[in-house]
Amino acid sequence: MRDWLETASPDQLVELQRLIDASAPPAPAPRGVICRTLAEVAEWFGLELQTVKQWRSSGCPGVEGAYDVQQIARWRVAKGQNNSPPRDLSVKQRLEEQSLELNNARLEVRLRRESGELVSRSAAKAAIQQMFARLKGQLETLPDQLAPLVAQDVRADFRLDAQTRIRTLLQQLANWRFERDVADKHAVEVEENAPQPDASS
């Protein structure tokens, strides 16, 4: 599909967008939606019955009375990845096929989200923030936990140095931004001039 998009004319792209806009997105699929007939499958995917009949002859999963929408969507996605459309198809047929592939991909994403395989960005961000909050609490108690392990005459200096280093690290973590450092694929780098542990302590 990527090859076609790169070589498509502006008119073809407009037609693809029109087809996508014209096809209403399928209703949200509860887990395990079973269609009883091919006509119901066609209605579910917003297609003509003849198209779904062609799917059956191409190996579409299901039997009369039990067509699992999730299995069919996965089959279509896998088929779309393994078979590129023939070159002799008309532009309209290719656009319809690509529109179907996009709808199948959307359904697959929805199914994966419902099964828990995908999480929203906000849920991932909340989990990362909770993890950092726990880490901050643990790091702040570290100097007091480690101080008894250090010789009495350098204990106060050790505690102060450890607290300073931890504050510096926490400040770097506080400046970390999900959108900038993860979504834009920029790695967070520790400044080279950050205090380094003294090997002699």
For the full predicted model, state whether its pTM sits above 0.95: no
Q: Which residues pair with 66 in a beta bridge?
A: 63
Q: What is the pLDDT of residue 154?
A: 92
In this predicted structure, which of 53-67, 89-103, 130-144 has the lowest mean pLDDT?
Answer: 89-103
CA–chain centroid gap for 96, Å, is 26
Burial of 193 (0-12, 13-18, 19+ CB in 10 A): exposed
* CA–CA gap between residue 75 and residue 82 (Å, rounded): 11
Classify 63 as helix, strand or coil. Answer: strand
Share of the chain above pLDDT 70, in %: 66
Classify 35 as helix, strand or coil. Answer: strand
Angle at 99 (CA atoms; ends 97, 102), nearest 5 degrees:
110
Mean pLDDT of all residues in 155-181: 83
* CA–CA gap between residue 68 and residue 35 (Å, rounded): 6
* CA–CA gap between residue 165 and residue 201 (Å, rounded): 14
Instruction: Tell me: pLDDT of 164 over 90.
Output: yes
What are the φ and ψ backbone dihedral angles of 35, each rounded to 5 degrees?
-95, 145
Q: State the virtual CA torsion across 53, 106, 127, 186 in degrees, nearest 10.
A: 130
Q: What is the pLDDT of residue 75?
A: 85
* CA–CA gap between residue 142 and residue 171 (Å, rounded): 16
Q: Among 173, 171, 189, which Cα is nearest to 129's?
A: 173
**What confidence tier does 192 reach under pLDDT thresholds 50, 70, 90?**
very low
